Structure formats: C-alpha cells, structure tokens
Homo-oligomer: A and B are copies of this chain.
Amino acid sequence: MNLEYADALNQAIRLLSLRHRARAAQLLAPLGLHVGQEALLLELDRTGPRIQAQLSEALGCEPPSVTLMTRKLETSGHIERTPDPTDKRATVVALTDSGKAVAEQIRQLWVTLAEETVRDLPAEMLEQLPGILHTMSTNVNGKPPA
C-alpha cells in the first residue's frame, strides 16, 4: 500500500472519530451525560444487568475505565451497583428507572446522530456500512482472541 493512501485513510478515521464524538457530546449534554456513558447505559438496556468485567468486554474499554464510569453513573442515579452473591469479587451493575428512561432518550438522539452522519451517502452504502466498520474494528483489534 502507498504512503498517501495510508495517510489519507488513517487521517479520515481520526477525524471521523473526533467529530462523531464531539457531536455526540453536544447531543448528550442536555441529558446531563458525558460521551462514553451512553454506551454503558445502552449496553445495560440491551442485555440487562451485567458485572463490570462483562461491561468492559462489551464496551471495548479497560476495567479501570469501567470502575470510574460506573461510579459516576451511580452518583448521577442512573445505575445501581450491588455485590454479586455468587462471586464475591464481582459487582453487578443494573439500570435504575431513571437509567431506563434516559436510555430511551439516548436511542432517539442516536437516530438523529446516525442520520446526520450518513447524510448524502448512497443507499447501497448504508446497507454495507455497519458491517464494514465492524470488519475494520475487528481487523485492527490487537487483543489476542485467547
């Protein structure tokens, strides 16, 4: 692969990351949320209560990050953390009623965000896009599958 293509591709990914994140932050601010927290709330809303190790895996970020995120979301009242009765190391994280309500609001905002993002793209690209992005992120995943 040539240098120019690689540079353009990596730069485009970087810029998309920054701007998508910035726009997400704008949309989430009225809910009193910081960007990143929405992923945790949506995950819990999709799957029900999880322990932090599972959240870490699902969100693609490290355990210490999850510790801090859950602590802040607990302070703001959107989640509850209770000790796991079957494993004294683990803590179970669950949505509160407030958390469920805000998860619904996030879903609405995310339609807005996604529509903005793919505006002007051809329809056949829309079909392929999530799969392509998913392929790219698994391609670039440095973690060994063991």
Contacts and interface: CB of A to CB of B under 8 A. Distances in A.
Interface of A: 1-3, 5-24, 26, 39, 42, 60-61, 107, 110-111, 113-121, 125, 128-130, 132-137, 139-142
B12 A113 contact: no
- How many copies of this chain does the complex contain? 2
A130 B12 contact: yes
Given A1-B111, A118-B9, A132-B125, A142 B26 contact: yes
A62 to B, nearest CB: 10
A112 to B, nearest CB: 8
Contacts of A17: 13, 16-17, 20-21
Nearest to A139: B119
Contact of A13 (B26, B115, B117, B139): B117
12 contacts: A2-B111, A3-B111, A7-B110, A12-B134, A13-B16, A17-B17, A18-B61, A20-B140, A23-B141, A118-B139, A119-B139, A125-B132
A133 B117 CA distance: 10
Nearest to A17: B17
Given A18-B61, A60-B19, A117 B139 contact: yes
Contact of A140 (B7, B9, B19, B142): B19
Contacts of A128: 125
